[in-house]
């Protein structure tokens, strides 16, 4: 990321890390973004002239919102004073408040200000990260995935089959687990009732390997 940014700023022309393959965080499936990739995603989403839907989608995903939830979040769900956003949940996740970080909060507040100034529509009908035209759950989810997918492509992750829009949400839970060491915190952020499922999302193996447990029993 350092050399990519330096090239964009015209500070260098070479990149000694080009072609360097890093080991995957998890085997198979979708992996969380790495910390460097999350930083690059924020940089790619940062708006130049006005707050975009892409930036709002990234902010909501980096706060723990799933692609199936992001398209439903409106201005009325944003609690700026409390530094949090309300997620209504889905068929697989429970409704919950998700805290907003120092990057995510200003992005969403700026987006909300732009939307309020451009229309007189009720805040409960103005969606933060997708267009406010009507659509099914599947269509709203697809719009969210397109926005996140565009950002992932901008930072060079389009060809990585283990990276999907869900990787952005998984990073939020992974980062929280890294800070607290509690898989329960990651599950609550993701709106999941299963700790095993939360652990799978962030690539955390919290159950001992059966062979290891057998060896311990023998010893």
210: CATH: 1.10.443.10
pTM across the whole model: 0.82
Identify the pLDDT of residue 61.
98
31 neighbors 25 (Cβ within 8 angstroms): yes
Burial of 74 (0-12, 13-18, 19+ CB in 10 A): buried
CA distance 119 to 115: 7
**Is 149 contained in some domain?**
yes
**Is 167 contained in some domain?**
yes
**Is 16 contained in some domain?**
no
DSSP letters, 8-23, are HTTS-S--TTTTPPPP
Q: Kind and range of the H or E element at 134?
A: none
Mean pLDDT of 124-143: 89
**Is 18 contained in some domain?**
no
| Cα dist from 98 to 29, 62, 158, 164, whole Å | 25, 10, 28, 21
Q: How many domains does the chain have?
A: 1
Neighbouring-strand partners of residue 127: 74
- List, for residues 180-218, the tens digit of each pLDDT value: 999 999 999 999 999 999 999 999 986 665 555 555 555
Domain with 44 in it: 29-218
**Is 24 contained in some domain?**
no
Q: Binning pLDDT at 50, 70 and 90, where does residue 40 land?
A: very high
């Amino acid at each position: 990321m350092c050399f990519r940014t330096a090239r964009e700023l015209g500070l260098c022309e070479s990149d000694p890390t080009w072609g360097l393959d890093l080991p995957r965080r998890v085997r198979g499936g979708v992996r969380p973004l790495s910390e460097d990739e999350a930083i690059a995603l924020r940089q790619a989403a940062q708006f130049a002239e006005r707050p975009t839907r892409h930036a709002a989608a990234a902010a909501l995903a980096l706060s723990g919102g799933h692609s199936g939830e992001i398209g439903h979040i409106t201005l009325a769900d944003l609690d700026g004073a409390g530094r949090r956003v309300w997620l209504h949940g889905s068929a697989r996740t429970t409704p919950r408040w998700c805290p907003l970080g120092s990057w995510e909060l200003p992005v969403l507040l700026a987006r909300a200000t732009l939307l309020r100034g451009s229309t007189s529509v009720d805040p409960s009908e103005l969606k933060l990260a997708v267009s406010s035209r009507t659509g099914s759950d599947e269509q709203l989810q697809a719009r969210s995935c397109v926005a996140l997918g565009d950002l992932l492509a901008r930072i060079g992750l389009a060809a990585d089959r283990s990276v999907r829009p869900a990787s952005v949400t998984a990073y939020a839970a992974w980062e929280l687990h890294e800070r607290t060491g509690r898989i329960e915190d990651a599950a609550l952020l993701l709106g999941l009732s299963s700790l095993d499922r939360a652990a799978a999302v962030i690539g955390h193996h919290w159950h001992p390997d059966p062979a290891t447990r057998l060896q311990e029993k023998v010893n």
